[in-house]
Structure 1
Amino acid sequence: MRNVQATLADQLPGRIVATSNEYPSHHRIARHKHRRSQLLYAAHGIMVVGTETGRWIVPPERAAWVPSGMAHDVHVLAQISTRSIYIEPEVSAALPRDCRVIGVSPLMRQLLLETLDLPLQSESGSGSRPDLIYSLIVHEIERAPVLPLDIPFPADPRLTKRCRAYLAHPSPHDSIDDWCADLAMSRRTFTRRFRAETGTSFAQWCRQAAIFAALPRLAAGEAITALALDLGYESASAFTTMFKRLIGMPPSRYLAVSNPMREVAVPMRGTMRGLDG
């Protein structure tokens, strides 16, 4: 279905509902939640999904999974075309229970594109083509690989506040000792707590945070070399290596994706604008 706002999607009948939207660069969708779980697929373009516990980058041809009832917001970094699948929790106990970015198989990608003009599931009988497509999508979500495209936030409110401030303005001059002094923690306590609550080291977290901060600056046209040095990388090649490892493409490819005028846009069968995710 096209041009369906999130609040209205919750009211649509059926255990599974599919919608499709397009958003311009820099569009923001305020924090909200759905009764159903949501698969938010980026056919092309790049977005960031945020919750109280972290942020997730969703590159082209990847998808974010948001469990039912989880409040989240969306920041579109580059003009994006999405497909959303809303699934009642009781459809499958094997569906993920945490927010994540997942890989999208060629089969699931084609199934998601096919949902654009499907009728509501409640309007098609069991065993019908729409019912089979939705069932296959659910199976593909269950087996989809989790991609390491998240910036987790600690549970400790003081640590979370410090992390959010760094993510907004990452600095190569910040050190672990600076954070320890700000938070009145010993280095040992800080290191142990940070890893326990984020699942990663302080240094690795800062490197990933810098990449997150770089995305809108790259899309705005900043030079890769200058940006890399500003974020504390020794060279553009070191920045490119980390960028590709996290995003799945080099900065040059990201620049092409974030500016549709630099490459041929993916043809779409319909346009939907100004909708909630």
Structure 2
Amino acid sequence: MGFASPREGSRALDLSAHECSEWPVTGVAESYPAGHVVPSHHHGRAHLLYATEGVMRVQASSGQWLVPPTAAVWLRPNVEHRLVMHTPVRVYGIFVGADAAAGLSLMDGVLHVSALLKTLIAELAQPIAGRCDSRREALLSALFLEELGGQRPLPFHLPWPVDGTVQQVCEALVNDPAHGFSADDWAASLAMSAKTFHRHFRKGTGMTFGRWRQQLRLMSSITTLLGGAPITQVALDSGYESHSAYAAAFKKHFGTPPSRFLSTAYRA
């Protein structure tokens, strides 16, 4: 099954050429507006989703992830998944044959994308019809698989609730990570007690409201950070009271301070 294209009136793209390709690695690229949803689908091949710009949420049967432009999501063959675009997004979908994917010790989840891997993704997403140099294709595919296998997993997992009430809160926070409502404020707005709200939120996400919101803020801040905004401004826009509070939380979650993350992202 193909994924829905806004240029085709949200009809599924025809990906049969990729599913049946003689090449072990092929790819496509598509742009989506903010708010666009690609319905649940799956592919017979393993699948790498990489957005060069914007933030998307990948909801799969094996997990859910909020993905910034520095990272990609890897899904094994036949894993059901759905895409939600929180901003305008340019997405590359790279398909890897089951035999080639079997040689990679990768589980479903978010991976770092190096500068070399970015270049290979863009090259492999060229139309299949224009790819006729078998030696070059074999080399590109081999180098892509080698580089992909060396990418490190990233802690970008964000549990997403099924419960509609908790979903409303999560959607509001994704759209405005710095939203000032406390758990008590959200409870009041939903006409429930704070205790009931906390119980619903933990049941829906497996996390406390405070921890979930902090994780969302940190993950969402990466787009602004990479956009060149001063770290202090990123901190304030993300709902933190100071540069130091944001930097400490960022380092605790990602294992590196935002300044070093930036230098690594531009060097990678």
TM-score (norm 2): 0.61
Q: Which moved more, 1:193-202 or 1:128-137?
A: 128-137
Q: CA deviation at 1:19?
A: 2.6
Q: CA deviation at 1:178?
A: 1.7
Post-superposition Cα deviations, 1:223-271, rounded to whole Å, max 9, x if no partner, equal 43244235432320221233354496625864996xxxxx89x9xxxxx
Q: 1:51-66 alignment to 2 at 5 Å?
A: 51=58, 54-60=64-70, 62-66=71-75
Say whether 1:40 aligns with 2:53: no
Residues 253 and 9 (structure 1), Cα distance of their counterparts in 2 relative to 1, 3 Å cut: same
Q: 1:85-104 alignment to 2 at 5 Å?
A: 85-87=94-96, 100-103=109-112
Higher relative contact order (CA 8 A, sep 6+): 1
Equivalenced residues, count: 245
Q: For residue 158 of structure 1, what is the aligned residue in structure 2?
A: 165
Residues 248 and 57 (structure 1), Cα distance of their counterparts in 2 relative to 1, 3 Å cut: farther
Q: CA deviation at 1:97?
A: 7.7
Residues 136 and 197 (structure 1), Cα distance of their counterparts in 2 relative to 1, 3 Å cut: farther
Gapped regions of structure 1 (runs ≥ 5)? 258-262, 267-277
Post-superposition Cα deviations, 1:53-109, rounded to whole Å, max 9, x if no partner, equal 75422453x42124544221456789x8x86431356876898785x2124699988
The answer to whether the Cα contact below 8 Å between 1:171 and 1:232 also exists between their aligned partners in 2 is yes
The answer to whether the Cα contact below 8 Å between 2:59 and 2:81 also exists between their aligned partners in 1 is no
Q: Percent identity?
A: 29
**C-alpha distance in structure 2 between counterparts of 1:110 and 1:231, whole Å:** 31
The answer to whether the Cα contact below 8 Å between 2:173 and 2:179 also exists between their aligned partners in 1 is no
Residues 75 and 180 (structure 1), Cα distance of their counterparts in 2 relative to 1, 3 Å cut: closer
Q: Let me know the Cα RMSD of the aligned residues.
A: 5.0
The answer to whether the Cα contact below 8 Å between 1:46 and 1:57 also exists between their aligned partners in 2 is no
Say whether 1:11 aligns with 2:17: yes
**C-alpha distance in structure 1 between counterparts of 2:101 and 2:234, whole Å:** 44
- Secondary structure of 1:150's counterpart equals coil
Letter in 1 for 2:171: R
Q: CA deviation at 1:176?
A: 1.4
Q: Which moved more, 1:226-235 or 1:148-157?
A: 226-235
- Secondary structure of 1:151's counterpart equals coil
Q: For residue 241 of structure 1, what is the aligned residue in structure 2?
A: 248
**C-alpha distance in structure 1 between counterparts of 2:227 and 2:118, whole Å:** 29
The answer to whether the Cα contact below 8 Å between 1:102 and 1:147 also exists between their aligned partners in 2 is yes
**C-alpha distance in structure 1 between counterparts of 2:57 and 2:221, whole Å:** 17
Say whether 1:71 aligns with 2:82: yes
Q: CA deviation at 1:191?
A: 2.9
Residues 109 and 225 (structure 1), Cα distance of their counterparts in 2 relative to 1, 3 Å cut: closer
TM-score (norm 1): 0.59
Q: 1:117-136 alignment to 2 at 5 Å?
A: none
Residues 139 and 195 (structure 1), Cα distance of their counterparts in 2 relative to 1, 3 Å cut: farther
Gapped regions of structure 2 (runs ≥ 5)? 6-11
Post-superposition Cα deviations, 1:111-158, rounded to whole Å, max 9, x if no partner, equal 8688579x89xx999xx9966985896798789754211332211111
